[in-house]
Chain A
Amino acid sequence: DAGVIQSPRHEVTEMGQEVTLRCKPISGHDYLFWYRQTMMRGLELLIYFNNNVPIDDSGMPEDRFSAKMPNASFSTLKIQPSEPRDSAVYFCASRGDENSQYFGPGTRLTVL
């Protein structure tokens, strides 16, 4: 299995631009999570889906952030408009059973 796939791996953009991060979970996993990691705040859960349905989006920082999961093999996290404080590493993770949450390699976002 290829594991969780994320793209792009690195993104540099200017303030005000729209950013779209993509994730392909492990086949057969019915949970998908989006996290953000910074030095100051550590790893934070933004939103998670179960069977493509958003379950808990209370971690999404503001209306500028939105996430979708149109099917079982694809999810996006969009930031519009982006701001410098959104600079972070964004991880996608998927889970099958209780104990096996697998993370993707992350997208390193820099907003100038």
Chain B
Amino acid sequence: RKEVEQDPGPFNVPEGATVAFNCTYSNSASQSFFWYRQDCRKEPKLLMSVYSSGNEDGRFTAQLNRASQYISLLIRDSKLSDSATYLCVVNFRRLDTGRRALTFGSGTRLQVQP
């Protein structure tokens, strides 16, 4: 089982739609959580951190459910410019090395259509 799992998509949605992505993680000791965005042939960029109480940044809302070990990203009023791959990222202490490391999901591709 992968440590961080995401639906690869693609999610094809019309402009103005609301879309949500989920991500599950396997390590219950995970300590911090992020969503990154990656445009085609570009580097990943931090979109937002995910806090236990949930947090919002404009049209983007992130939530964490520790009991069920998943995080979500909600995008309201989708724009064409939101088209990208969204990477779920979990920071936990690895059992084999004892070191903390960011583990990236494979990403969910979003295509917003006019």
Complex Cα distance, B47 from A45, in Å, reads 19
The reply on A48 being an interface residue by CB < 8 A is: yes
B44, B87, B105, most chain A CB atoms within 10 A: B44
Determine whether the beta carbon of A43 is less than 8 Å from that of B87.
Answer: yes
Interface-side segment among A63-71, A72-80, A99-107: A99-107
- What 1/0 flags go to A38-82 for Cβ under 8 Å of B? 000011010010000001101000000000000000000000000
Residue of B nearest to A50 (CB): B99
Instruction: Given A56-B97, A56-B99, A58-B97, answer yes or no on A42-B43 (Cβ-Cβ < 8 Å).
Output: no
Complex Cα distance, B103 from A42, in Å, reads 10
Determine whether the beta carbon of B101 is less than 8 Å from that of A45.
Answer: yes
> How big is the B interface, by class?
20 to 34
Whole-angstrom distance from the CB of B81 to the nearest CB of chain A?
19
Determine whether the beta carbon of A104 is less than 8 Å from that of B43.
Answer: yes
Instruction: Given A91-B43, A103-B45, A105-B42, answer yes or no on A45-B102 (Cβ-Cβ < 8 Å).
Output: yes
Within 8 A of A (CB), among B85-105: 87, 94, 96-97, 99, 101-105
Instruction: List 14 A–B pairs whose Cβ atoms lie within 8 Å, in order of A's numbering.
Output: A42-B106, A43-B104, A45-B103, A48-B101, A56-B101, A58-B94, A58-B96, A58-B97, A91-B44, A99-B46, A100-B46, A101-B102, A102-B46, A106-B43
Closest CB pairs A-B (n = 3) = A103-B43, A42-B106, A43-B104
Interface set of A (CB-CB < 8 Å, partner B): 33, 42-43, 45, 48, 55-56, 58, 91, 98-106
Interface set of B (CB-CB < 8 Å, partner A): 32, 34, 42-46, 49, 87, 94, 96-97, 99, 101-107
